[in-house]
Amino acid sequence: MQKNCLRWPAERLRGWWSVPAGRALLWLAIVAASVLEGHAQSIGPVPTVSATLLRPAAVFDGQNLHPGWVVLVENDKITAVGPVAEVALPPGGRPLDLPGLTLLPGLIEGHSHLLLHPYNETSWNDQVLLESQALRVARATVHAQRTLLAGFTTARDLGSEGAGYADVGLKQAIDKGIIPGPRLLVATRALVATGSYGPKLATDLDVPQGAQEADGVGGIVRAVREQIGKGADLIKVYADYRWGPNGTAQPTFSQDELTLIVQTARSAGRGVVAHASTPEGMRRATLAGVETIEHGDEGTPEIFRLMKQRGVALCPTVAAGDATSQYKGWKKGKEPQPPRIQQKHLSMQAALKAGVALAMGGDVGVFAHGDNAREMEQLVLDYGLTPLQVLRQATSGNARIFHLADRGSIRPGLLADLVAVAGDPTQDVRAVRNVQLVMKGGVLYRQP
């Protein structure tokens, strides 16, 4: 009986083929399958030929705009840049005209959480406690693709927020070409002092935490080494958090503990970034030798002068505070700024006056992935930076701060991570939203 069942479809198909209508149906099925296959292939990356000459209206090289320049890409590298008359296309290569577009280095996102999604969809507590890791990873693969297609070819992912080492696996899937996404620098679980982080529920319940707790010499050294061993590209530490009286932000780790974290990470070739918003948390992190301070909401002129002296950069994440304030009911543009936003403006003025290096990163995940340009826009429209300053931050500036010598600029020998946008983003930063071409490592993921 089983063999007859297996033969039945073939026999039935032979019967259909003998009828004109049957032949027509089968032919339509074959054509449909062919179309679907072709459509599926068009969704993924489009490999370029061995040499491609990109011919935009202008090239922003990471520092300045050059009208009339072209860029030659061979395999995964940039091999020539300059005026069209000075760059020849090798035999077998192809030109790619980009009229009206500005070619930029692939943008670099300085602060993201691919395993989070906007808090007005699901609260942070519920994401950490109620969403399975499988669900969070599945969502993160979409976040990675949206980030790449928005023109961000590299991203620092600063903490998996309760998802363990899932960011390491996400990075591996991208590197192996399994899913599209930016090149990732991952911080894995991040470090918090015991009792300082969340989620916090009833006092008689021990619930999973959004980061790894560690204290004292033995605990800190072990935790840092464990995260590095599991694949961390950098270590993130919470130098302060909202665990003071009435939920106020207060320092967490002692000066000695923070210094030990930096020393342990540095001995393994890793840098440390610090979540810090209070003056004391920022001071301790700066003296410990962290490379960037994230947020810095209550930074003072004195603290920013210290950061400048020690070469510590600030990643202000202005878009995150803007988003959460609106989630809480603030009607931006119609109501006065809430105290948190007013304080952010004061801290940014102090940072700019002190000359602290700024990294561009929005804390994406608090708001939607793919909307990464929101940080760039707000730095210009709300905080008074120029489009050119912000473009430099998002390209060559971030590359320098994050020690990425192979990207962030357009010059021979660097990775062919390139983005083309309509208009001139050096004059209007909002042009970075109009992405027409995305190339990562010489592979086209979006083209006009």
Task: For residues 127 and 98, state if they share a domain.
Answer: no
| pLDDT reported for residue 174 | 98
The conformational region for residue 256 under phi > 0 = left, psi -120 to 50 = alpha, else beta, is alpha
Q: Is the pLDDT of residue 31 over 50?
A: no
Q: What is the mean pLDDT of residues 296-319?
A: 98
Closest CA to 183 of 21, 402, 11, 380: 402
Task: For residues 77 and 200, state if they share a domain.
Answer: no
Distance CA 247, CA 240 (A): 12
* Distances 167 to 1, 106, 141, 145, 177 between C-alpha atoms, Å: 50, 21, 10, 14, 15
CB 115 within 8 A of CB 169: no
Q: What is the mean pLDDT of residues 277-302?
A: 98
Task: For residues 269 and 369, state if they share a domain.
Answer: yes
In a domain? residue 411: no
The model's pLDDT over 206-246, given as tens digits with 9 standing for 90+, comes to 898 999 999 999 999 999 999 999 999 999 999 999 999 98
Residue 82 exposure: Cα atoms within 13 Å on the Cβ side: 8
CB 196 within 8 A of CB 203: no
Task: For residues 359 and 376, state if they share a domain.
Answer: yes
Task: For residues 91 and 226, state if they share a domain.
Answer: no
Task: For residues 73 and 113, state if they share a domain.
Answer: no
In a domain? residue 27: yes
Which CATH number is 220's domain given? Answer: 3.20.20.140
In a domain? residue 145: yes
In a domain? residue 65: yes
- What mean pLDDT value characterizes the chain? 91
Which CATH number is 50's domain given? Answer: 2.30.40.10
DSSP string spanning 88-151? PPPTT-EEEEEEEEEEEEPEEEEEE-TT---TTTS-HHHHHHHS-HHHHHHHHHHHHHHHHHTT
Task: For residues 288 and 330, state if they share a domain.
Answer: yes
CB contact burial 30-43 (16+ within 10 A = b; e otherwise): eeeeeeeeeeeeee
The distance of Cα 211 from the centroid of its chain, to the nearest Å, equals: 19
Task: For residues 210 and 291, state if they share a domain.
Answer: yes
DSSP string spanning 267-293? HTT--EEEEE-SHHHHHHHHHHT-SEE
Q: Is the pLDDT of residue 95 over 90?
A: yes
Q: What is the mean pLDDT of residues 139-154?
A: 98
In a domain? residue 7: yes
Parent domain of 81: 46-105+431-446
In a domain? residue 425: no
Work out the number of other CB atoms within 10 angstroms of the CB of residue 269: 9
In a domain? residue 192: yes
The model's pLDDT over 106-133, given as tens digits with 9 standing for 90+, comes to 999 999 999 999 999 999 999 999 999 9
Q: What is the mean pLDDT of residues 51-75?
A: 98
In a domain? residue 418: no
User: Which amino acid is it at 71?
Assistant: V
Task: For residues 76 and 122, state if they share a domain.
Answer: no
Distance CA 275, CA 265 (A): 16
Distance CA 343, CA 164 (A): 33
Distance CA 196, CA 203 (A): 13
Residue 83 exposure: Cα atoms within 13 Å on the Cβ side: 2
Question: pTM of the full predicted structure?
Answer: 0.89
Task: For residues 153 and 269, state if they share a domain.
Answer: yes
Task: For residues 366 and 275, state if they share a domain.
Answer: yes
Distance CA 70, CA 419 (A): 13
Task: For residues 373 and 384, state if they share a domain.
Answer: yes
Number of domains in the chain: 3
